[in-house]
Amino acid sequence: MRSFKISTLLALASLLAMGVFAQSQPKRLAPRPSASAYSHKLSSSLRQMVYAHTDKRLAPQRAGKPSRVCALVKTADATAQPLCDNGCVPIAQIGDIFVADIPVSALPRLAADTRVNRIEAERGNALQLDSMALYTNATDIYTGTRLPQAYTGNGVVLGIMDVGFDLTHPTFLNADGSASRISRFWDQLSADTINSPMYVGAEYATPETIRAYAHSRDGEELYHGTHTLGVAAGNGAGSRYVGMAPESELCLVSNAVSGDEPFIAEEDMYRYTTATDVLGFKYLFDYAESVGKPCVVSFSEGMHQSFSGDALLYYEALSQLVGPGKILVASAGNECLHNNYMAKPSGRHSSGTFLGAKDNATALYVKTDKPIDLRTIIYNVGNAKVDLRSNHTTLSDGRLVLSVGTADVCAAADSLLSDTIIIDGTEYVQQIQAYPSCFNPSDLVLEVLQTSSSGMDNKLVSMQMVGDEANAEVFLLSGGFGGSQIDPTLNDADISHSILSPGSAPDVICVGALGYRPTFVNYKGELQYTSWGEKGERGSYSSVGPTFDGRTKPDVMAPGSNIISAMSSYYMQAQPRRLGWLVGAFDHDGRTYGWSADAGTSMSTPAVAGIVALWLQANPMLSPDDVMGIIQRTSRPCGDYGSETPNYCGYGAIDAYAGLLDVLGMSAIEGLSTTNPQGVDISLTKANALHLKFAAATQSAVALCVYSTSGQQLLARRLAAGTNEYAVDLGMLKGGVYAVQVESGSVKGSVLIRVGH
């Protein structure tokens, strides 16, 4: 599957791809409209749109380009009047923030309106998944988070916003297979929009219309949402691939991600932004509220953080959407397969790293509290024909050195400095834009974009931050950081500061990924080996904190490597040559469905969301702070990275069962284990008989205790050794949830049961 990581820094490149600029325009950072009084109110992409719309040189080329944008708008008096007065259409209100449809031509006058505080819209979510052909026939895929029998997500709405849904997969049916658990579906890319009341796409609100629609519009090209939904809530369809909350009610939104451009008309590209995503989150929470149920939403997508304030309203809106009974869980990202951060502390003369390009471009942020020089060296120039179109460049000993100081950038028009070098006909361009950090205005941020006309594959490129007094940092957005023997001293980069947004938001539960088994068998019977981590360690790809403003993230970890879940039947049918990760198939109701294995924080995120659904079933009024407290108190260690462990692993590996005991107030019961027993299966019959089945005949007596949720011991039995099966009548207990403690030799632990009457 194609998985793109698009940064907000590459706004111009994104605009080019979406048709905002003519294809003949060079890939350059557009200057910020510095002369206007309103530019500080606009997020980066909106500033670019204003520039493209108002520059007379581009006017003849604007036909058919985006004319409207979906944006978040914060007004001073929390009313929609400024929007209406400026020709905009309010779509939804979240506190003092509006989601609005805005004509691009109205952006300047709306931003200039003194009643408007901020306007924001960004594009660029990428799926947090890496595909591979894997299979497991060993232990439960959710090792360490076994499904408690008493809680299945019943009475909870589990919301997923994703792409590539197969709405007909039998794992999304109820327990007896008679009806789908998908109650609502909004496909934001649907072309069936006649009489649709939705801002984009269409809603499908009955079992008949959902079944008839069958799959999201991108369901033959993508399968991501089918897989994540199965991880969170699949019933297993008779297999062992059961999700965490198999009886939860499902509400789905199919949004737009990078890669979905073929499904969107060019003029509608900017109707799909972070503001449209906010509409999707609101839709999920609103549905749950309409049926009187708590809701947890899983979101396995993300985009890079920024220093320009492009996510300020986004985060504010998310904070106002969540609350008691409304939880949002998002992925940390898969950004750690390469180095992406470098620091130069005060007192150190310089720090450096070698650069790698992606699609002939490297993009990064530099943040500094004091003046620095940014020194870029192009090696292996030798006797090449060089055309230096820059005052900041020198050439000696076969190396070309481009040295730019922060003062040079700030002194340039619009604080935008561009240098061009041509080496044997290959154009190399470095552009740097300067502005204050949105987190600390005393820090200067440099957006750096390096591009080449036809690649620089035969040239090594390094970058150094030079300045004794400065505390400076570099944050990679696109490309790569690495080392080279040509100068081993330039090896200062690491993998930190790589959390994606909105997982980086304060009120969102951010999830990283763990790995358990390194070997697998694919559907062809071929043994596969992967190096994503084993024995519960952090997946080598899983993003690491802190956030750009210094907060600890991720919050919690869950299995994310080589997770088997539902595969879209429509993807299987349309993409028969792209099924290398298929691990099995089965027929149902005239169609062939499958199971696939995948890795990424895309997988760990819905696992946590499903667990939170179990906790919400036990206490429907849990708030994000409550959930964070449960995670902090009950998660298990999953690695030791010294003082940086919290930014690698958060509070540790989530523990569904220990968390449930905490929610129920049972974790302090003396004698009650907070782990499930290994080596014995415990079940409750319909006649309320407790059935114990040990792996082998017991060698010592079985101590059995039953506790109420209030902590009272209601039953204590000692069962004779010598057999592997026991039955205990619990018919005397009233209907409700109880904890059963079992001890026999090395077997020790507890489970929750639900007695019905």
May I ask the CATH class of domain 350-486?
mainly beta
CA angle, residues 441, 442, 444, in degrees to nearest 5: 85
d(CA 667, CA 690): 22
pLDDT digits (tens, 9 = 90+) for 402-456: 999 999 999 999 899 999 999 988 899 999 999 999 999 999 999 999 999 877 6
CB 651 within 8 A of CB 632: yes
CB atoms within 10 A of CB 56: 6
Which one of 3.30.70, 3.30.2320, 3.40.1000, 1.10.3470 gives the CATH number of domain 11-120?
Answer: 3.30.70
Q: Answer yes or no: is pLDDT of 722 > 90.
A: yes
Q: Answer yes or no: is pLDDT of 692 > 90.
A: yes
CB 129 within 8 A of CB 203: no
Q: What is the pLDDT of residue 53?
A: 62
Tokens 């399968």 sit on residue = 223
CB 687 within 8 A of CB 737: no
Among positive and negative, which fits the CA dihedral 181, 185, 190, 195? positive
Q: Answer yes or no: is pLDDT of 33 > 60.
A: no
Return the bridge partners of 395, or none.
400
d(CA 486, CA 508): 43
d(CA 253, CA 160): 6
d(CA 263, CA 323): 34
Among positive and negative, which fits the CA dihedral 389, 390, 394, 400? negative
Tokens of residue 376, six digits: 């870029």
Q: Answer yes or no: is pLDDT of 7 > 60.
A: no
Q: Answer yes or no: is pLDDT of 563 > 50.
A: yes
What phi and psi values does residue 319 have, to the nearest 5 degrees?
-65, -35
The reply to whether domains 350-486 and 680-755 share a CATH topology is no
Q: What is the pLDDT of residue 147?
A: 54
Q: What is the pLDDT of residue 613?
A: 97
pLDDT digits (tens, 9 = 90+) for 248-293: 999 999 999 887 889 998 888 899 999 999 999 999 999 999 999 9
Which one of 3.40.50.200, 3.30.70.250, 1.10.3720.10, 3.40.50.280 gives the CATH number of domain 127-336+500-527+554-640+651-658?
Answer: 3.40.50.200
Q: What is the pLDDT of residue 5?
A: 27
Higher pLDDT, 523 or 648: 648
| Separation in Å, CA 654 to CA 325, 628, 733 | 19, 11, 31
Q: What is the pLDDT of residue 61?
A: 41
Lowest mean per-residue pLDDT among 203-207, 376-380, 384-388: 384-388
- Residue 757's pLDDT band (cuts 50, 70, 90): low
Among positive and negative, which fits the CA dihedral 518, 521, 523, 525? positive
The CA-based dihedral angle spanning residues 525, 527, 533, 539, taken in that order and rounded to the nearest 10 degrees? -50
Give the residue extent of every domain in the chain: 11-120, 127-336+500-527+554-640+651-658, 350-486, 680-755
d(CA 45, CA 39): 11
d(CA 314, CA 457): 38
Of 99, 157, 98, 93, residue with least CA distance to 287: 157
Q: Answer yes or no: is pLDDT of 170 > 60.
A: yes
CB 571 within 8 A of CB 222: yes
Q: Answer yes or no: is pLDDT of 691 > 90.
A: yes
> What average pLDDT score do residues 62-82 get?
84
Instruction: Spell out the residues 6+ positions from residue 625 whose beta carbon is closer than 8 angstroms to its own.
Output: none
What phi and psi values does residue 522 have, to the nearest 5 degrees?
-85, 180
| 12 three-state secondary structure | helix
Report the relative pairing of strands 295-299 and 157-162 from DSSP bridges.
Answer: parallel
**DSSP-derived secondary structure letter, 637:** P
Instruction: Spell out the residues 6+ positions from residue 570 whose beta carbon is closer than 8 angstroms to its own.
Output: 166, 214, 215, 219, 220
Instruction: Spell out the residues 6+ positions from residue 15 whose beta carbon is closer than 8 angstroms to its own.
Output: 21, 45, 48, 49, 52
Instruction: Spell out the residues 6+ positions from residue 221 whose beta carbon is closer than 8 angstroms to its own.
Output: 164, 259, 262, 571, 574, 575
Q: Answer yes or no: is pLDDT of 13 > 50.
A: no
| Separation in Å, CA 70 to CA 2, 89, 121, 270 | 26, 10, 7, 6
Asked, as a colleague might, if the bond just before 33 is cis with ω within 30 of 0, I would say no
Q: Answer yes or no: is pLDDT of 346 > 60.
A: yes
CB 109 within 8 A of CB 53: no
Task: Quote the mean pLDDT of the chain.
Answer: 87
Q: Answer yes or no: is pLDDT of 11 > 70.
A: no
CATH no., domain 680-755? 2.60.40.3080
CB 558 within 8 A of CB 654: yes
Q: What is the pLDDT of residue 456?
A: 67
pLDDT digits (tens, 9 = 90+) for 451-479: 998 776 678 999 999 999 999 999 999 99
d(CA 446, CA 433): 5
- Residue 40's pLDDT band (cuts 50, 70, 90): confident
Q: What is the pLDDT of residue 175?
A: 87
**DSSP-derived secondary structure letter, 483:** -
Q: What is the pLDDT of residue 15?
A: 25
Q: What is the pLDDT of residue 389?
A: 82
Of 604, 597, 599, residue with least CA distance to 558: 604
Tokens of residue 52, six digits: 């493209």
> What average pLDDT score do residues 145-173 get?
89
- Residue 193's pLDDT band (cuts 50, 70, 90): very high
d(CA 282, CA 236): 29
Q: Answer yes or no: is pLDDT of 24 > 50.
A: no
pLDDT digits (tens, 9 = 90+) for 198-231: 999 999 999 999 999 999 999 999 999 999 999 9
Tokens of residue 61, six digits: 């080329």
- Residue 391's pLDDT band (cuts 50, 70, 90): confident
Q: Answer yes or no: is pLDDT of 2 > 50.
A: no
